[in-house]
A and B are shown apart, each in its own frame.
Chain A
Amino acid sequence: MYAQMVKSEATQEDPEKLATFQARIDAGEKIEPKDWMPAGYRKTLIRQIGQHAHSEIVGQLPEGNWITRAPTLERKAILLAKVQDEAGHGLYLYCAAETLGVSRDELTEMLLDGRMKYSSIFNYPTLTWADMGAVGWLVDGAAIMNQVPLQRTSFGPYSRAMIRICKEESFHQRQGYDIMMKMARGTPEQKRMAQDALNRFWYPSLMMFGPSDKDSVHSAQSMAWKIKMNTNDELRQKFVDQTVPQAEYLGLTVPDETLTWNEEKGGYDFAEPDWKEFFEVIQGNGPCNTERLAARNKAWDDGKWVRDGLLAHAEKRSMRKIAAE
């Protein structure tokens, strides 16, 4: 299956150019926007960087949901700063995608009409304050696990965007864990909220890494091109191994009765998420898909007059400047 995929994405190209390109990748060189690249490489990057950017943008919503209810001024400021960072990360990523010949507006239209995806995780609701902890701890934790290796990805602009993003991201995870700590060590109600948040976010977080390797259609080619550095299952395993001791430290129970340490492999054995649910969510049937897309569409539609107005003003100004010269 992998070999088949590798072939199908690359067959249209001039074999000589393809070989030179692959040799550059294998030698660890970075590919820059002006370099020759196979159409499939460009297409995969646009898809992956675009989806990643959209995830940052849609990802503002579940956390934005709690900004106006943050329990203290400091928590509110931290959460705002985090969501602001996410918008900034979206911006870096759209810029990286634009170097491949697609505009931010085109990508946005594709998100809004459902042609492009965003991470499944943001289709789950945030129901209590502990969810702000769980999102930071688990969701950002998973995002970091995925993004750290992507700093070494073969496409220069993507790699540089990842380096900037990773620098800011570790603060996000720490603040999430800090919220969880306060909740887990707090009143009985807070503790209950913390456990409930872990119960609801555990499996959706595991899904962030994508389908299991046997069902991952893009992995083989993407890894050959170093667009992806690890398989989905490798990263999922690392995430579980990192997170289980953190849950134990919090005194919380991971909602997986089969979870056991496997001495031989040096990692945990754990239950797979419900992949039927995952495919439903990415097809639009998650708990919040409709709301999330509706919110983004509303922001875009309601904002049209603003974008048009500012553009018209900028044009008038440059006309006046030309007239004055």
Chain B
Amino acid sequence: MSDDALFEFLCRMGDNTLVLGHRVSEWCGHAPVLEEDIALANTALDLIGQTQMWLGLAGEIEGKGRSADDLAMRRDVWDFRNILLVEQPNGDFGQTMMRQFLFDLWHLEMLKALSGSSHDRVAAIAAKSVKEVQYHVERSGDTVIGLGDGTSESHRRMQAALDLLWPYVGEMFVPDHIDAQMSEAGIAPDPGELRATYDARLAEVMTEATLTIPDSGFAHKGGKSGMRHSEHLGHMLTQMQWLQRAYPDATW
């Protein structure tokens, strides 16, 4: 296993939390009810904290003196390694919560596996994050159920959100050469192995939510390899990185 591969893997973890944390933070002050403002901010805060740990470690492994902030604020789109799902726009509240649940469910299984990583630092970050994400998945799952099995309008919106986001689920489970190196070194699981648990839990929640999982195995790809992000990511970076880019000599 090379340090390059480990760096790549850590960027995947950190960019997922960075990009999703940013998306969730866009809700601040605009949620449907005060309790949701608080909960969304809480989720975003957890994800940003996790980003600091993952990208911090990535910078150390890379060994070029880049900090978590340098990685977050000074890379361009092609160097981001997050999956496409998390960069999708917020849409309505239902779409945001569906995206959250589809991610959280994977994130939890991933972190559980990483808690037993052969790499101590990776295991420590995962162990710390797993408690937070346990809570995220309970919350997003409850919301998906509540809105899926709510009024006819909320049901319709949640089904539309699931249909829209479903093609972005597959990317989380497709292994590539980086994953192969990680699992060989015992650092991370083969993502394909997480699918069975994910599907089983997903089916339970969707049944309770009275939602239908689309009958399609099609998966968009290109986020975690960095090959082809969606157009949305670039726009996000124009905001997120603007101050650091406009005033490169400043410290904040």
Q: A187-B249, A308-B150 are in contact. Are A302 and B32 (CB under 8 A)?
A: yes
Chain A contacts for B32, CB-based, 8 A: 299-300, 302-304, 306-307
Main secondary structure of the interface of B (DSSP, over half): helix
Task: Judge if A262 is at the interface, Cβ distance under 8 Å.
Answer: no
A208 within 8 A of B: no
Q: Which residues of A contact B153 (CB under 8 A)?
A: 305, 308-309
Closest to A84 in B: B41
Contact A67 B25 (CB under 8 A): yes
Report yes or no: B147 in contact with A306, Cβ–Cβ below 8 A. Answer: yes
* Residues of chain B in range 16-45 having any CB-CB distance to chain A below 8 Å: 18, 22, 25-26, 28-38, 41-42, 44-45
Does A24 sit at the interface, judged by CB under 8 A?
no
Please tell me if the beta carbons of B33 and A77 are within 8 angstroms of each other in the complex. Answer: no
Residues of B within 8 A of A298 (CB): 30
Tell me if A111 counts as interface (CB < 8 A to partner B): no
Instruction: Give the residue name and chain of the A residue nearest to B35 (CB).
Output: A91
Contact A313 B147 (CB under 8 A): yes
How far apart are A296's CB and chain B's nearest CB, in angstroms?
8
Beta-carbon contact of A302 and B92 below 8 Å: yes
Q: List the B side residues contacting A91 at CB < 8 Å.
A: 34-35, 38
Chain A residues, CB < 8 A from B28: 60, 64, 67, 80, 83
Cα distance A67–B45 in the bound complex, in angstroms: 11
What is the minimal beta-carbon distance from A163 to any residue of chain B, in angstroms? Answer: 20
Contact B34 A90 (CB under 8 A): yes
Q: Quick check: A190 and B73 within 8 Å, CB to CB?
A: no
B:36-75 near A, CB below 8 Å? 36-38, 41-42, 44-45, 48-49, 51-52, 68-69, 72-73
Say which one of B163-171, B212-220, B235-243 lies at the interface with A.
Answer: B235-243
A68 at the interface (CB under 8 A from B): yes
The residues of A that contact B195 with a CB separation of less than 8 Å are: none
The smallest C-beta distance from A199 to any residue of chain B, in angstroms, reads 20
Residue from B45, B239, B250 with most neighbouring chain A CB atoms (10 Å) = B250
Give the interface of B toward A (CB within 8 A): 18, 22, 25-26, 28-38, 41-42, 44-45, 48-49, 51-52, 68-69, 72-73, 92-94, 143, 145-147, 149-151, 153-155, 157, 239-240, 242-244, 247, 249-252
Instruction: Tell me the A residues contacting B by CB distance below 8 Å.
Output: 57, 60-61, 64, 67-77, 80-81, 83-84, 87-88, 90-91, 94, 104, 129, 179, 182, 186-187, 189-190, 295, 298-300, 302-314, 316
Instruction: List 26 A-B pairs, Cβ < 8 Å.
Output: A57-B34, A60-B29, A60-B37, A67-B25, A72-B69, A72-B244, A73-B48, A73-B69, A80-B41, A80-B48, A81-B41, A83-B29, A84-B45, A91-B34, A129-B243, A187-B247, A189-B247, A295-B30, A299-B29, A303-B36, A304-B32, A305-B151, A306-B36, A309-B147, A312-B151, A313-B149
